[in-house]
Structure 1
Amino acid sequence: MNATSIRLIDPSDGPALSGLLARDAQAYARWLPARPADFYTPEGQASVVDSLLASHTRGLAWPGVMVSGETVIGQISISSILRGPFQKGYLGYWVSSLHQGRGHTSRAVGLALRIAEDELDLHRLEAHTRLDNVASQAVLRKHGFRSWGIAHDHFHADGAWHDKVFWERRLAGGSVS
């Protein structure tokens, strides 16, 4: 088994991401919002990557990819970073169905926690999961996240509104300057 790593997303990741997303579009329809057809193309992903890197440049996000060996297998990000008295961000991730069940997501979340604390100096990370996403909830629990509430009709996917469980994890970072 190849080791799992994460790194900042790169413009050259567009084709790999579009391939994974297109392949898993039906499988992930229940978890992700509806997207236009061009989202699943290399050009569409190039635009997404450019936008993510612009957010990173402004200090609003750390957009990354999950890598197994040399192969991009998914994405992991810390987004909506708030500074000042909050010092927090939101953790999000997905891994290709070809690579699920092998511990990649859990290892990637552990690595993202280090980045949030050491590089981004955050005090808190939050995440959201659908009520029925028990695999993701297990990953979050394993890494010390606690659920703190449910938002009803919070997210629209697969033609319907869905409730979301809110998760939090305090970090050692978070100096306020």
Structure 2
Amino acid sequence: MSPTPPSAAATTSVRLIEVADAPALAAHLARDVEAFARWQPARPEGFHTAEHQAARIEQLLATHSSGGGWPGVIVADGALIGQVTVSTILRGPLQKGFLSYWVATVAQGHGHAGRAVALTLRVMKEELGLCRAEAHTQLENLASHAVLRRNGFTPWGVAHAHIHIDGAWRDELFWGRNLADGAPPQ
């Protein structure tokens, strides 16, 4: 059964992922495999199943328990529509984390990604105590560039042939945002 898409006027929230989210995540990922192929690395066989997602969620939660990340989901009007993750948290003098996200195709174009990023920046600052957020986007991913710019990120460099996606090595733009200066966007 396919998840019901949220309405265009849906509210957006983020929360810590749960193992019970596996079927909804798997349904979105299986349906959107072709749409995401250009933007995400190749996935192992079975990745788009609820069983694989449940095991993956358990690993993400173990990393969260050890302080290495914050795995979240994006929710609109009670429906799970995507995932947002803070990974590779570095402590000590850096106090930063790497932000990534995706929104199911049925919920794209309604501002959910931008609102989810803003909410996750608040988690990064207030809950995780981080000072800096970083993200990477492919040079051609203009939608993600807009989301990051609206949330106060600025580009700071290009890594050539940084990631292998859809059969080719892709350049990526590196983005950063200082969380210590002022509050994250509302």
Q: Which residue of 2 aligns with 1:12?
A: 20
Aligned residue-pair number: 173
Is 1:88 aligned to 2:62, yes or no?
Answer: no
Candidates 59, 65, 88, aligned match of 2:73: 65
CA offsets per residue over residues 134-169 of structure 1, 9 Å max, x none?
000001001110000000000011011000000000
TM-align CA RMSD = 0.8
In 2, the alpha carbon distance for the partners of 1:144 and 1:138 equals: 10
In 2, the alpha carbon distance for the partners of 1:47 and 1:130 equals: 28
Candidates 153, 170, 173, aligned match of 1:162: 170
Is 1:119 aligned to 2:107, yes or no?
Answer: no
Q: Superposed, which structure 2 residues align to 1:78-157 within 5 Å? A: 78-157=86-165
SS in 1 for 2:171: strand
Scaled by the length of structure 1, what TM-score is found? 0.96
In 1, the alpha carbon distance for the partners of 2:126 and 2:109 equals: 28
In 1, the alpha carbon distance for the partners of 2:60 and 2:109 equals: 27
Task: Give runs of ≥4 in structure 1 deviating > 4 Å.
Answer: none
Unaligned 5+ runs, structure 2: 1-8, 182-186
Q: Which residue of 1 aligns with 2:3?
A: none
In 1, the alpha carbon distance for the partners of 2:32 and 2:52 equals: 16
Q: Which residue of 1 aligns with 2:35?
A: 27
Is 1:40 aligned to 2:48, yes or no?
Answer: yes
Scaled by the length of structure 2, what TM-score is found? 0.92
Q: Which residue of 1 aligns with 2:6?
A: none
